[in-house]
Amino acid sequence: MGSEVLKQVKVLFIMIGSCICAYKFPLATIFLNITDQKVLASLDIGFYNFVFSVIFALVFNFVSNHLLHIDVNISYPNQETNKIVFSESDLEKSMDIEMKIVAKGKVRKTYKSITLVCPESYMIQLHENSSRKFISIDSGGSNYELDINKMISRYKKDVSTVKTIKLSLVLEEYHKGDKDYLVLEKPIWLGFVSIKKNKLELKQN
């Protein structure tokens, strides 16, 4: 959703900039022997649109190449899906879920941790065989905090690593028709870090 909005904003700015430049600095009239002003304006707008698109692409690639990219996928591996459907018979039953974290790019320091937030009707627990070096329980005792700095601490300049975290999810309170999400929450500003994440849908039938 957020990425789509940014794309539309970029298109809007490029179009506005192209129209302003076409009005202030018309080029087609200099190089082409055309009298139709609408055609000339269209050609100028198209030219500036191309120029601004190339500039945006170059800037984006430059910035992207200097970021730390974190991709987090929370899934229910038993059914290879990002959705779990509970019935009343699943009350107090443990469901094994998986959180896969891919870190690539430049080593960057994050200013805060990201948090795996568990809905009130559920409880999550880290498996014993999962890495605990960069994961800790928050002060409330119900959510897990992931320290990206600790996760990539052995890398000096560039990083490329995959971490798979095994967790158990338990439905503690059944409320028919409820729909919640197990999701990672991140601060507004983490530094030069780009985070792409999904959420695991929890539905009670």
Q: Provide the phi-psi class of 177: left if phi over 0, else alpha when psi is between -120 and 50, else beta.
A: left
> Average pLDDT, whole number, for the chain?
86
Beta-strand pair 199-204/179-185: antiparallel
Least confident of 24-38, 159-173, 188-202: 24-38
> What tens digit of pLDDT does each residue of 86-108 get?
999 988 888 999 999 999 999 99
Q: What is the pLDDT of residues 20-49, one digit of tens each?
A: 888 888 887 777 766 677 877 888 888 999
Site of tokens 């129209």: 19
Give me the mean pLDDT over the 146-158 stretch.
Answer: 91
Euclidean distance between CA atoms 179 and 163, whole angstroms:
28
Q: Are 71 and 105 in contact (CB under 8 A)?
A: no
DSSP states along 31-79:
H-----HHHHHHHHHHHHHHHHHHHHHHHHHHHHTTSEEEEEEEEBTTT
Half-sphere exposure of 120 (CA within 13 A, CB side): 2
**d(C-alpha 97, C-alpha 75), whole Å:** 6
Amino acid 175 reads H
Q: Predicted confidence band at 140 (pLDDT cuts at 50, 70, 90)?
A: low
Token pair recorded at residue 190: 């983490």
**Model confidence over 46-89: pLDDT tens digits?**
899 999 999 989 998 898 899 999 999 999 987 778 899 999 99
Strand, coil or helix: what is 150? helix
Amino acid, res. 58: L
Indicate the SS3 state at residue 14.
helix
For residues 106 and 112, what is the distance between their CA atoms, to the nearest angstrom? 17
SS3 11: helix
- State the burial class of residue 1 (Cβ atoms within 10 Å of its Cβ: 0-12, 13-18, 19+): exposed
C-alpha span between 55 and 96 (Å, rounded)? 46
User: What is the value of pTM for the model shown?
Assistant: 0.77
DSSP-assigned letter for residue 109? -
